[in-house]
């Protein structure tokens, strides 16, 4: 064997083979991802028809789009939002407007309900769940879609005058605390049922007696973001709250499994929503430039992808192709739907992702260099 053919054989074994394997893995991962996100209205109808679904943040954006799909699928839908913002033209809050709109989509308008609740206020959330239980029963599914984004540099988001309420605090309360509160309130109201007997103690699972277990939802989906698994300039406050949500979901996925409660985390990219318009008003230019890599989707497409993936029992998923790559390369305790293909694809994704991070650091440096040069 000549030295050249030795090198070629070595090169093939060490570079081409792994590359081919990685590409095959990636192809299979992406094919499975696309298939699991394909929405079939009949499938949602089959699973959601007659179920009671509670949607937080249901007055706008993804929450409202999700509620619309559910209403069309014949679910009993309850939306919750703060409901404080009143449209000066119509005199109606976004919550009332969404309720009206959703009722037109349902074959039985009385199946759609709306409650104005500040989800960051735990006692208020508990009394809401108590009254919901009386009015419509406990939810079969819980879609925790409440949240918002106010990007900005940390140096521009310092607490003013010792005021506690600033981006790093209120994104935590609006995105994380609001979501954990609704889950805790549902569990708390479930725990108010039935006096515990000694038999219950033996049969209790993760702190709930059989009677209480029956009141737990079948599915809980937390709406995170691609920024639950990565971050960059301008998103420190937002991303922290979305990482927190992801950690919560990861713990609860394991804990609620013996109850038969399936936990999911959805990691959308950017969506064409009222919230997106607001966030763009405080978004640094460089932040917008870096996230340009993800495409804007309609909340309806995002909601459909979410339900399709949930019903395919994906635990953590993104509708964005880059989001799927980020998920596959993330090192978490999330179960993998296709472990073999994902492990095969990982080296290639890790190379692309590292290149992106280097590119992002370079872009940030260049942005501020050019900014300084422009004056």
Ligand X SMILES: CCCCCCCCCCCCCCCC(=O)[C@@H](N)CO
Q: Give the residues lining the site for ligand X (CB under 6 A).
A: 149, 225-227, 269-270, 276, 279, 291, 293-294, 322, 325-326, 349, 352-353, 356
Q: Output the smallest distance, CB 352 to ligand X, in A.
A: 4
HSE-CB for 38 with a 13 A CA cutoff: 5
Residue in the block written with tokens 């981006």: 167
Q: Output the smallest distance, CB 287 to ligand X, in A.
A: 9
φ, ψ (nearest 5 deg) of residue 263: -105, 140
Task: Considering the complex, state which of residue 130 and residue 276 has its C-beta at the smaller distance from ligand X.
Answer: 276
Sign for the CA dihedral angle at 268, 273, 279, 280 comes to positive
Q: Output the smallest distance, CB 316 to ligand X, in A.
A: 15
Give the tokens for residue 347. Answer: 């080296």
Give the Cα separation of 344 and 324 in Å (integer). 15
Give the Cα separation of 264 and 268 in Å (integer). 13
Residue nearest to ligand X (CB): 225
Q: Output the smallest distance, CB 257 to ligand X, in A.
A: 27
Task: Considering the complex, state which of residue 144 and residue 325 has its C-beta at the smaller distance from ligand X.
Answer: 325
Check: CB of residue 249 under 8 Å from CB of residue 265. Answer: yes
Strand, coil or helix: 300: helix
Largest CA-CA distance found in the chain, in angstroms, rounded: 85
Task: Considering the complex, state which of residue 222 and residue 353 has its C-beta at the smaller distance from ligand X.
Answer: 353
Q: Output the smallest distance, CB 133 to ligand X, in A.
A: 32
Task: Considering the complex, state which of residue 139 and residue 275 has its C-beta at the smaller distance from ligand X.
Answer: 275
Task: Considering the complex, state which of residue 139 and residue 323 has its C-beta at the smaller distance from ligand X.
Answer: 323
Q: Output the smallest distance, CB 200 to ligand X, in A.
A: 42
Task: Considering the complex, state which of residue 94 and residue 239 has its C-beta at the smaller distance from ligand X.
Answer: 239
Task: Compute the C-alpha angle 10/15/21, nearest 5°.
Answer: 125
Q: Output the smallest distance, CB 269 to ligand X, in A.
A: 4
Give the tokens for residue 361. Answer: 């650091």
Q: Output the smallest distance, CB 296 to ligand X, in A.
A: 10
Task: Considering the complex, state which of residue 205 and residue 330 has its C-beta at the smaller distance from ligand X.
Answer: 330
Sheet holding 112-116, edge to edge: 112-116, 76-81, 52-56, 141-144, 219-223, 262-266, 316-317
Check: CB of residue 136 under 8 Å from CB of residue 52. Answer: yes
Task: Considering the complex, state which of residue 191 and residue 276 has its C-beta at the smaller distance from ligand X.
Answer: 276
Task: Considering the complex, state which of residue 62 and residue 215 has its C-beta at the smaller distance from ligand X.
Answer: 62
Annotate 38-96 with three-state secondary structure: CCCHHHHHHHHCCCEEEEECCCCHHHHHHHHHHHHCCCEEEEEECCCCECCCCCCEHHH
Q: Output the smallest distance, CB 264 to ligand X, in A.
A: 17
DSSP class of residue 332 equals S
Task: Considering the complex, state which of residue 175 and residue 212 has its C-beta at the smaller distance from ligand X.
Answer: 175
Give the Cα separation of 226 and 318 in Å (integer). 7
Give the Cα separation of 75 and 59 in Å (integer). 17
Give the Cα separation of 80 and 325 in Å (integer). 33
Strand, coil or helix: 69: helix
Q: Output the smallest distance, CB 367 to ligand X, in A.
A: 16
Pairing mode of beta strands 52-56, 262-266: unpaired
């Amino acid at each position: 064997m000549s030295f050249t053919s030795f090198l070629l054989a070595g090169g093939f074994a060490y570079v081409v083979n792994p590359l081919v394997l990685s590409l095959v893995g990636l192809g299979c991962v992406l094919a499975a991802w696309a298939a699991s996100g394909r929405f079939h209205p009949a499938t949602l109808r089959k699973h959601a028809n007659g179920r009671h679904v509670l949607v937080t943040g249901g007055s706008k954006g993804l929450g409202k789009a999700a509620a619309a799909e559910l209403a069309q699928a014949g679910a009993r839908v309850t939306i919750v939002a703060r409901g404080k913002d009143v449209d000066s033209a119509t005199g109606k809050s976004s919550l009332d407007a969404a309720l009206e709109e959703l009722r037109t989509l349902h074959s039985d308008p009385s199946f759609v309900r709306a409650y104005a609740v500040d989800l960051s206020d735990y006692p208020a959330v508990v009394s809401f769940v108590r009254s919901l239980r009386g009015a419509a029963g406990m939810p079969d599914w819980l879609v925790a879609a409440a949240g918002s984004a106010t990007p900005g540099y940390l140096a521009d988001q310092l607490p003013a005058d010792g005021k506690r309420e600033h981006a790093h605090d209120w994104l935590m309360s609006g995105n994380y605390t609001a979501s954990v509160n609704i889950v805790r309130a549902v569990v708390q109201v479930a725990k108010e049922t039935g006096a515990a007997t000694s038999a219950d103690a033996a049969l209790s699972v993760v702190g709930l007696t059989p009677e209480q277990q029956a009141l737990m939802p079948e599915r809980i989906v937390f709406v995170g973001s691609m920024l639950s698994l990565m971050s960059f300039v301008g998103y420190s406050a937002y991303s922290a709250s979305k990482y927190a949500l992801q950690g919560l979901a990861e713990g609860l996925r394991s804990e609620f499994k013996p109850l038969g409660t399936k936990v999911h985390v959805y990691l959308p990219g950017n969506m064409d929503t009222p919230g997106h318009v607001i966030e763009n008003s405080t978004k640094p230019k460089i932040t917008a430039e870096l996230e340009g890599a993800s495409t804007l989707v309609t909340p309806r497409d995002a909601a459909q992808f979410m339900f399709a993936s949930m019903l395919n029992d994906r635990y953590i998923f993104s509708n964005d192709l880059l989001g799927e790559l980020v998920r596959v390369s993330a090192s978490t305790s999330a179960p993998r739907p296709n472990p073999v293909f994902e492990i095969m694809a990982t080296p290639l994704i890790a190379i692309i992702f590292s290149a992106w991070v280097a590119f992002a650091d370079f872009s940030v440096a260049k942005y501020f260099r050019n900014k300084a040069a422009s004056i």
